[in-house]
Structures are given as C-alpha cells and as structure tokens.
Structure 1
Amino acid sequence: MAESILSADTGLDAVRALYDWGTYQRATEPVIFDAGSGAWHVFSFEEAERVFTDRKIFSSEFPREVSVNDDLIEGNLALTDPPRHTELRGLVSKRFTARAITELRDEIDTIITGLLDNLSGDTGIDFVDEFSYRLPASVIAHVLGLPRADVPLFKRWSFAQLSEQRTQAVEAEGQHDVARSVLAEMREYFAEQVRDRRANPRDDLITALAHAEIHGVRLSDEELIGFLRLLLTGGDMTTCSLITSAVLCFDGRAGLLDRLREDPGLIPAAVEEVARYRPPFARVARWTTAETELGGVRVPAGQVVLPWLTSANRDERKFADAEEFRVDRHPNPHLSFGRGVHFCLGVHLSKLEAQRALAQLAARFEDIAVRTDEPLRHFDPAGGVLALAALPVDFRARSSSRP
C-alpha cells in the first residue's frame, strides 16, 4: 500500500490518499517499514511526538551520504543537533520571539494592504503568486535586509528547491541540474550580501549574523550562507503554504469568513486549525542513532524515520472529531510546527502573518472561491510538500471592504 501511495500524482487526490493512508495505518500498523522508500513511516500522534522530542535517538543530523544533492547543508538549523543547533539558534532566537515579532505588525499590515489593493476584486487571480507567496517573502526580506524587488528571484529559488524533491524521486536529470544551479545562485547572492554587510554594517539580521561570534569565533562562510538560505526559504514557503491552505479550507465551507468578520478573536484559533488540518509539510525526517522500539516495533540504528503530520494531526485518540475542520478548536496540540529543540524558529512570525492576512481578507471580501478550471497541483505530497505552486481564485468584494 505504501508504494502505491508514495508514487501518487500531485493533485488533490494524492493528498486525499495520504489522509486515507494515515487513517488506515493508525487503525492497523501505526509504525511500518516500507522497502520501496527504504524508510520507517510513523502515523500515530504519540509515536510522532516522540520522534520529535527524543533527539538522542531520533537525530536531525543525517550522514553526508544520505543528505545528497545539497551543497548548502552547513548552518542549516533543521539539519543540526545540539550543541551546534543551540549555539546557532541562540544568535537569532530573540528576534523571533512572540514579543519581538509584534514590532513587525505594522510592516506586515502595510505589505498586506498593498498586495490586496492590487487585487481589487479581480477574478482568475493566482493567489500564490499575487499574495500568499509575496507576503511572507516580503516580510522575511525586510527582516534580513534584502531588497523587496528580489522577491521574484526568491520565489524562483524556493520553487526550484521544492520541485527538486519530486525530481529526486523520478530522477529527472534536467530539473536536477536546474536545482543545483539555483543553489549556486543562492550561494553567490548571499556571499555578496555578507561581504557588503561586513564592509557596510546595517540594522538588519544579515549584518548581525555576519558579525556574530560563538565562543569568540565567527561563523564560517558555509555556515553563514546555509543559515541565511534556511531563514529565507523557511520564512517564505511555510507561511505561503499556511495562507494558501487557509483559502482551500475555507472554500466550500459557507459562513466561515462571516464568522471571522463577526468574531475576529477566532482568527488565531482558525490559523491553528488550518495548520493542523492541512500542515505546510506532510512529514518530517529523522535518523536513528541507536536501535529503539517505536509503537511496539523494533527500529534499527541508522534508519530514516518519517513521522506523517497529515496522520498524527488527525489521530482520533488526540483530537475529537479529528476529520472535521473547526475554527474554534481548543485545545489544538498539533505537530505542524514541530516539538522540542527543533520547534519552528519562525512560528510566531508565520502565525502573525497568517492572522493578519485572514483579518484583511475577511474584511475585504465577501467570498474567495477556488476555481476548478484546471486541476490543482502540489509540489510533492508523497515527498512531504503540500504547498501548491498556484491557486486560481475569484474574489467577491464586500460593499465596505476596508478593515
């Protein structure tokens, strides 16, 4: 069954198949080995949470021979364990606390207003290109100190890297060459930004990192560039997918936008429910450092373990009415932003952007309808990427649309 699911296409049926797979496995075998993918798949909430939190057994650092085709691994927090992870994260963590992020609210609102002013109730808009990507990419560019005019460049990089995950599965050499070319572009781009900040310091995050020291030693160029790559691509696509998924979740559910207009206090809970119901990424990956037992199954050392968030977030033993989308769900202990030391660094920023976006979308538009002219395509559901490359929508403006 796993082989058929993991070879599915990229349309909505592929995502539905993932959810159905999770439902079946939770009821039968919540931890399985799949020879086709060479990995252990985890479906239940309890076991998935343990994979996130037991970092001594389930490591985020993969052997170099496993982490192939990526030249910018150094400095990537997502692929680094303590103590280096703690040291690197400590350089920026204060800038991404809930309190620090509130200082960006006015900037976020300004960006949202500008983007929505350009939409002005048009039909056939690509929501991803015109809004849900541009918003987080513009915000993280502001934080890092990068030109907002470079947002189209960032989009090309992020989309190429997400496409590469699918490429590795189908071994399309031409696209693989494109992805490696993108990494080379990113390396040179960030190297130039770092050189500029060292010579001409500014009040931005790149300057702070370019001059930062750990135990009296500056980051190597490789670590610094890899770190910046993570901050950019993690800062844009996670939030892009979250906001896009909100529109998908609201589509066809009459009255939800009305509820948010009538009770804006529901918006934070709505964002959490979107993250649970349709997580930005379908799964994560870990590497076992020792033999262990997981869900009653013996898992050897040196294995890839894949907790499926699409399944764990709908575990009936953890969530009442798990298959229902409820904007007022509380509590909502989903795993979409991780747990433990690898809890998403930018989670507060991502949630604030999504909340402010939903507030203005609800205030401006009576309805946002997803068009069905063409099938929707995700980057790679089986590979864990639920983000959509495009989302055509029609807007119906309210008579009084300004928030």
Structure 2
Amino acid sequence: MNKHTYEEIGETIYTKKLENGLDVILLPKTEMAKTHGLFTTNYGSIDLEFVPIGKDELVTVPEGVAHFLEHKLFESEKGDVFADFSKQGASANAYTSFTKTAYLFTATDQIEKNVETLIDFVQDPYFTEQSVEKEKGIIAQEINMYDDQPDWQSFMGTIKAMFKHHPVNVDIAGTVESINKITKDDLYTCYNTFYHPENMTLFITGNFDPNRMMQLVERNQNRKDFKEMKELRRNFPVEPQEVATKEKKITMPVSITKCTVGIKEANLDISNEAFLKKDLLQGMILDHYFSKGGEFYQLLYEEQLIDDSFFFETNLDRNFGYTLIGSNSERPTEFADTLKEMLLRITNAKLTSETFERIKRKKIGKLLRSMNNLETMANLYTHYHILDLDFFSILSTVRALTFEDAQQFMQNWISEERLSVCTIAAE
C-alpha cells in the first residue's frame, strides 16, 4: 500500500492497485462522523461500440445499456440491495453519466459491512430474461418523464445541436425504442467487459482505519476470479470540429422560453498537462465573466435578458467536450445573439495580471471548500483519476498558471463555427 501526504492541504491518501487490477484509494478523515464509499467503472452511455473481453471483433450495443445495467445491478437473487444498505444504516445510490457509472453509500455505522455490500453487489450480476423485460417498462417511464422536463430537453437538445456523430448526442438512458432491443446477453457482454476490476476504482473516505480497510478489500477480492484483461478497445466515430447545426428549436408546454448556447470544445488530443490546464482555465474564465459578480452576467441581468435560472457549466473529456450557458428569457433571440457576441469577444479580451491573480485565488478557494465535503471530493478525485490526473495536485497546477497561459487560452477558445443555440419554446 502506497502512502502519500499532501502537506499543502494536510491530507494523506493510501492507494494500491490489486492483483486483479482494481484501483483502491483510501482517504481517512477521522474527524468526520460519516464515511462515503464510491465504486466507479470507467464506462458510460457513450460506450456503444467496443471489443468485448475475450473477443476480437467490434460489437455495437443498443443505446442506454450502461444506464440499464445500473438499474439491474441493484437486484440480486437474494432481493433488493437497497434494503440491505438500509438495514445497515446506510444511504445508497448510483448514477450513470456519459463516461462512467458509479455506485455509492454514506453511513456512520457498520462501515466495513457496508463496504463489502457495495463491492459484492456490483461484482455479482444477476440478469434473467423475465427481469430484463420487466425493467424495460420501468426505464421507459423514466425516459418519458425526462421527455417532459424542459431543463433536460434543453440540455440534450444543445448537445444534439453540437455533436453530429459522437454518441454523446444520445440520451444517457437511451430511447424507448433502443431499450426494447436490449437483451440479457447484451447486459452480460457489457458487464463482463466494462465491470472488470482493471477498469474500476474504489474510493473510500471518512472515519476508518486505512490498514484495516485495505486488508478487508484485498480479502474480498482474493475470493473472486476474473478473466485477464489485456486491453480495453472502444471505438468512436470521427467528429467534425464544427457544430452539427447552428440552431435547434424544441416546442413544449412551457410558460417561458428557455435558451441555451453551447460551445463545442476542440483540440482535446493533447498531453495530460495541457488537458488539465485547459480544463482549469475554461472553468476559471467562465466563472470570471458569468458568475453573479461577473461583467457579462451583470450586462445580461441589467438588460433583463435572464432571470434566476441562469446557469453555466463545462465538461471536458478525452474525446469530447462542451460548455453550456443558458437561462429562461422573455427575449430568447436577443439573449442568444448577445451571449454569442460576448463569447466571441473573449477571444480579444485583455485581462490584467492583477485580475488573473484574483481569478486564481477564487479557484483555489473553491477547490479547498470542495475538499471539506466527502461526496464532492470522492467524485472529483475519481473523475480526475480516470483521466490519469491527480486531484490533490490541482492546487499546485492552479498556482503555476500564468497570465500568459490565460491570454493564450482565451485567444484560441471560441470560434463561430463551434457555437450552437437550442431554444425550448411554447407549443
């Protein structure tokens, strides 16, 4: 077991890659009353085309399999896993994103038992034709529910407007038509390939003894057998730099129009160092201009183009990336035009070195605050770990960013061809 102390933030982390390939990361925080466990596979909704473990040929599976698997794993031959966690005083949950699926619990008691429950149910799939068919109806209801949510339709509508071929443009849950094509064999094929320990990370943080916890996890894994995984091969289509469509309009029964501008990120085939710089600067510059104290936010608010629903977010991965900025607006066309003009203006904007130092200090403060929350820290650490980056080293990266780094990033960040607008309007 490797021990690493980050003096700057006063944290000590314990890591070990087990013989079966599982990455175990322990962050003891004995001052905390609770413990949080997060078991994550590097597998999400975009992984539709791949070579199954033990095979040589690419296969394509129906859209929505990753999300379907998340649902099914909570059912075992013995019953409902949620009930097991509840009996042990734990709150459990799971989520599927474009790139990963995660299972988690939070508890203040019976920690070791809950950790074993977490690992065991994720590593013990049980699918029958009958249970798969039953689940299709449940997930179809969930899909129909999201179809009626303007916020989700705005999110996915903007993604679809930006991406032409990449499977990020497919709803995470799939469609009613696609999930009806899913078979028990599809689930086992995806499970056996992507839920291999070599492709997974177990992160535990909170009140526990790291040596005892690592021994528990190792004993658990030594009782199980997994096929050898040499290389995990995924396939993604070639995606153009420009957006699929400049404008997309969706009509729904809404009382006020919702408008989102998307920036399709480019030039992601870069080194780890360059990727992290881009990831950090993107968030920092967005926050500078569009947080409530930001210059562009103030202008949009004073012109009454936005309301309290205004938001911005950015997501950067190894083979896709996007930034979304949106709001409810009584004048959506004017909002979109003004926002696009603001974004393009960033290319030639002139920050001062003093301003950039303030931006850096604000980012450092946010990072430090995030480290006080077990759930947030577990998610962030795992996210960056899967990208082969160390979350606890980010503070030093932020401090090392220069004014010239920011200027260069801003000059190359946004172009007209990579902007899309999605509007959710009344029927």
TM-score range, shorter chain: under 0.3
TM superposition score normalised by structure 2: 0.24
Q: Which has the larger radius of gyration?
A: 2
TM superposition score normalised by structure 1: 0.25
Greater helix content: 1
Specify which structure has the bigger relative contact order, considering alpha-carbon pairs within 8 angstroms and separated by 6 or more residues.
1
